[in-house]
Structure 1
């Protein structure tokens, strides 16, 4: 395979459909995005792993939704990994890339560096938030932390909140080709039953962990048989196939699902991107009085703000902030 072919599939999400099984899916290859997300912070390895998994899920889920603006994933727990947050911004126009950003908040003193990363979340919840932009009401769906991975939490969310059987196969980590530098790569496949309503779904009884619905609770008959067969085929995937780059996504889909009649659609490029700006910081501080702003002012007489996603640093004249601001001031940064 040529270098150009490998690069063509880097940081892309490929939509596909299994016509025989009535199942849709996404196949993602994420490398540059992962590198840039994790380069913004010096995370311990256990936190890096959680952020990397969340980025993979965000890339896959974001591409399945008719999104006009932003999808966010939030994982909050009472363990040392307190928060994992990601955003997926829909492309501004056809052919342009979607943008992903992510960050984590954690208690370094409580973190067990030798533990499984998922165990560091503890009890909490997994949330999906949709914001379609001005003039719309944001949507949020929440499910408890369950299973042994963020992927299993996402599967539980779709079964419980959307009653859509969903399966993720993910892999991610540092990779190094001969003579090259080490860098992050991720690969994943998402399978999801098409959302035609089943008469059983309204009556389904939950049998999963924490009384959550599972695919077995939602499907029966031919639907259940098709779902089981597609999942058995996905079980044969190898990590090296998921992560690439030597096997292209189209070759992998044919290898896994050729009997299910896979059909692919246009791939969606994804990039690291952040929407922070001085104007957005000003807007977020516009609800405060000059007295409140005074409490935020440093000894040097400025108000500072740092973006948790990209690390951008902003400095402001306190007189230009809040609802009593004298003026907008000049450029900040």
Structure 2
């Protein structure tokens, strides 16, 4: 595979279908988008790993759902890692990239160095929130944290909330390509058993179960380096894993890092406060400041223009 072919599959999600098995799926590759998510913060390695896994899951799940606006993944726990939050924004127009962002809130003094990353979340819940925009009722599905990874939680979520058998195989970490500095790479495959395929004859329950088990066994043979690339492209990976299942690929979706924060949104948030409230937020330098937890953007504003009594309120 040439360098050009490697780059072509970076930061993409490739939808596919296994025509012989009534199974759909996604192959995702993230590199630059994930690097930009993580470079905004100086997370400890344990937290970096959790944010990387959550970002990869969000890219795969977000592309699965026909979104008009945004899908969010939230993980909350009572352990040292209190919150992991990600957002996937659907493309603004045909052919445009989707946008993704993520961050984590954690207590550095409570982190157990050398522990399994997932254990640092503790007890809590895994949630998917879908916001289709104005005049649409948001959807929220929640399931308790279970298993030994965020991907296991996602599998439980789909089994319980959507009644769809779902499987993930993920790989992520820092890698060094020839001639390049060390950077984050991530890749994964999602399989999802569908009720039926209009392009194939109806199969009975026993045959569907057999097909699902076979696809899972084939996915178990995937190697981590095949998932993250860059030397095996997603179409080649599907051919290696599922050749006899008749894989059919669709148009890939590009995924870029992108944040939706802006000064106007900060001002809108602060418009619910009075001038007295704004005064308590004012720094000794006479300004009100705000930082975006996702991208690190820093906003500095004149308190006289804020709140519902401000000039712009």
TM-score range relative to shorter protein:
over 0.9
Cα shift readout 1:220-255 (whole Å, capped 9, x = no counterpart): 422211110100000000001111000111001001
Other structure's SS at 1:281 match: helix
Q: Does 1:36 align with 2:21?
A: no
**Aligned equivalent of 1:86:** 86
In the alignment, the residues of structure 2 paired with residue 309 and residue 68 of structure 1 have an alpha-carbon distance, to the nearest angstrom, of 21
Matched ranges for 1:303-322 at <5 A? 303-322=288-307
Q: CA deviation at 1:327?
A: 2.8
Other structure's SS at 2:64 match: coil
Cα shift readout 1:279-306 (whole Å, capped 9, x = no counterpart): 0001111111111111111111111000
In the alignment, the residues of structure 2 paired with residue 134 and residue 283 of structure 1 have an alpha-carbon distance, to the nearest angstrom, of 16
In the alignment, the residues of structure 2 paired with residue 325 and residue 166 of structure 1 have an alpha-carbon distance, to the nearest angstrom, of 51
Q: Does 1:288 align with 2:276?
A: no
Q: TM-score, normalised by structure 1?
A: 0.91
Matched ranges for 1:125-164 at <5 A? 125-164=125-164
Cα shift readout 1:15-65 (whole Å, capped 9, x = no counterpart): 000001100000001000110000000000000000000011001000000
In the alignment, the residues of structure 1 paired with residue 48 and residue 252 of structure 2 have an alpha-carbon distance, to the nearest angstrom, of 27
In the alignment, the residues of structure 1 paired with residue 184 and residue 58 of structure 2 have an alpha-carbon distance, to the nearest angstrom, of 16
Q: 1:253 aligns with which of 217, 238, 243?
A: 238
Q: Does 1:19 align with 2:19?
A: yes
Does the C-alpha gap of structure 1 residues 99 and 2 become closer, same or farther in structure 2, counting only changes over 3 Å? same
Q: CA deviation at 1:169?
A: 0.2
Q: Does 1:326 align with 2:311?
A: yes
Q: 1:244 aligns with which of 200, 223, 229?
A: 229
Alpha carbons 2:22, 2:195 under 8 Å: kept: no
CA-based RMSD of the aligned residues comes to 1.2
Q: CA deviation at 1:67?
A: 0.1
Other structure's SS at 2:171 match: strand
Other structure's SS at 1:109 match: helix
Alpha carbons 1:44, 1:113 under 8 Å: kept: no
Runs of 4+ deviating beyond 6 Å: none
Gap runs ≥5 in structure 2: 198-203
State how many pairs are aligned.
307
In the alignment, the residues of structure 1 paired with residue 145 and residue 59 of structure 2 have an alpha-carbon distance, to the nearest angstrom, of 20
In the alignment, the residues of structure 1 paired with residue 241 and residue 127 of structure 2 have an alpha-carbon distance, to the nearest angstrom, of 31
Q: TM-score, normalised by structure 2?
A: 0.96
In the alignment, the residues of structure 2 paired with residue 154 and residue 327 of structure 1 have an alpha-carbon distance, to the nearest angstrom, of 43
**Aligned equivalent of 1:202:** none
Matched ranges for 1:1-333 at <5 A? 1-196=1-196, 220-327=205-312
In the alignment, the residues of structure 1 paired with residue 195 and residue 283 of structure 2 have an alpha-carbon distance, to the nearest angstrom, of 53
Gap runs ≥5 in structure 1: 198-218, 329-333
In the alignment, the residues of structure 1 paired with residue 138 and residue 275 of structure 2 have an alpha-carbon distance, to the nearest angstrom, of 31
Q: CA deviation at 1:195?
A: 4.2
Alpha carbons 1:77, 1:123 under 8 Å: kept: yes
In the alignment, the residues of structure 2 paired with residue 13 and residue 58 of structure 1 have an alpha-carbon distance, to the nearest angstrom, of 11
In the alignment, the residues of structure 1 paired with residue 178 and residue 255 of structure 2 have an alpha-carbon distance, to the nearest angstrom, of 26
Q: CA deviation at 1:196?
A: 4.9
In the alignment, the residues of structure 1 paired with residue 127 and residue 312 of structure 2 have an alpha-carbon distance, to the nearest angstrom, of 38
